[in-house]
């Protein structure tokens, strides 16, 4: 398992999709807080599974501290291509995410206009109006969709109570120019058998993203019943997805 990020900024790291990326962690540093508890999460199982931040506000970084650290990084000589919201859980759970995103957008425009701002989200943020509005400050939004139906969604992502699969897909389908990310896994649960893939491709057709990025597991995972999808199978699923949806599927593996 990976250790939790220990501060607000981490990296820059070489990312499989984003070149050199400076990570921003808006979640606590001493425990994992997320609205999902994915079977494959590299940070291990979620300690606090919730959409409600009221008991956790004091454990989250303040708006002013985040902007100060990002400004320092933008003024430094350290090179990076992206600033990426990611970290120990779901970034849009931070109540000040809209103000933080707006502030970073303004700093980026002023200090390093070539750097792009990315968001890696598990998609629960799209259920909240203010978070959807904040997407105007994100250049490259990535949203997680690992399943094509509610039953498999609950088995793979194990969401906090109140999170409904179809509401997420409906909200995603109203957004323009988004990227979808999917972790594929065999074993139990599996999202690569024929019926799981058929439902998944239907959901991708509803969303009409700009691109779908599919991943295999590349690190140890907390649930020992799931297995890595082999590179040849990832290629085959990417081709099938492309043929059935007309949308570009890009496979990523190590």
Binding site for ligand SF4 (CB under 6 A): 34, 36-38, 41, 43, 46, 89-90, 122
Are 73 and 23 in contact, with CB atoms under 8 Å apart?
no
Least separation in angstroms between residue 60's CB and ligand SF4 is 15
Contacts of 91 (CB under 8 A, 6+ apart): 24, 25, 26, 27, 85, 97, 119, 120, 121, 125
The residue to which tokens 């109540």 are assigned: 95
Beta strands 186-187 and 226-227, pairing class: antiparallel
Q: How far is the CB of 112 from ligand SF4 (least distance, A)?
A: 27
- What is the token pair recorded at 190? 């599996």
Q: For the sheet containing 9-15, what is the strand order? A: 9-15, 19-25, 82-86, 116-121, 140-144, 179-183, 211-215, 249-252
Q: How far is the CB of 33 from ligand SF4 (least distance, A)?
A: 9
DSSP class of residue 123? S
Distance of alpha carbon 55 from alpha carbon 83, whole angstroms: 28
In the complex with ligand SF4, the residue whose CB is nearer, 46 or 182, is: 46
Closest to ligand SF4 by CB, 44 or 206: 44
Residue nearer to ligand SF4 on the CB measure, 43 or 80: 43
Compare residues 74 and 221 and give the one whose CB is closer to ligand SF4.
221
Beta carbon nearer to ligand SF4, 42 or 129: 42
Closest distance of CB 69 from ligand SF4, Å: 21
CB of 26 to ligand SF4, least distance (A): 12
């Amino acid at each position: 398992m990976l250790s939790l990020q220990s501060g607000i900024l981490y990296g820059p790291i070489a990312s499989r999709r984003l070149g050199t990326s400076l990570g921003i962690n808006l979640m606590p540093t001493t425990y994992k807080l997320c609205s999902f508890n994915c079977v494959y999460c590299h940070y291990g199982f979620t300690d606090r599974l919730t959409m409600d931040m009221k008991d956790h506000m004091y454990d989250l970084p303040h708006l002013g501290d985040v902007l100060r650290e990002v400004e320092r990084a933008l003024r430094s000589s350290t090179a990076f291509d992206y600033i990426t919201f990611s970290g120990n859980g779901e970034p849009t759970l931070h109540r000040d995410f809209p103000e933080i995103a707006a502030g970073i957008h303004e700093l980026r425009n002023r200090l390093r206009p070539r750097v792009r701002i990315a968001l890696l989200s598990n998609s629960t943020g799209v259920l909240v109006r203010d978070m959807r509005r904040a997407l105007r400050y994100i250049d490259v939004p990535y949203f997680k969709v690992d399943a094509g139906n509610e039953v498999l969604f609950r088995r793979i992502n194990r969401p906090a109570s109140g999170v409904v699969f179809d509401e997420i897909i409906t909200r995603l389908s109203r957004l323009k120019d988004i990227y979808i990310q999917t972790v594929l896994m065999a074993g139990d649960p599996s999202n690569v058998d024929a019926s799981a893939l058929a439902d998944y491709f239907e959901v991708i057709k509803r969303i009409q993203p700009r691109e779908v990025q599919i991943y295999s597991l590349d690190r140890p995972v907390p649930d020992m019943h799931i297995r890595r999808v082999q590179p040849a199978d990832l290629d085959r699923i990417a081709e099938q997805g492309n043929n059935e949806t007309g949308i570009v599927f890009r496979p990523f593996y190590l």
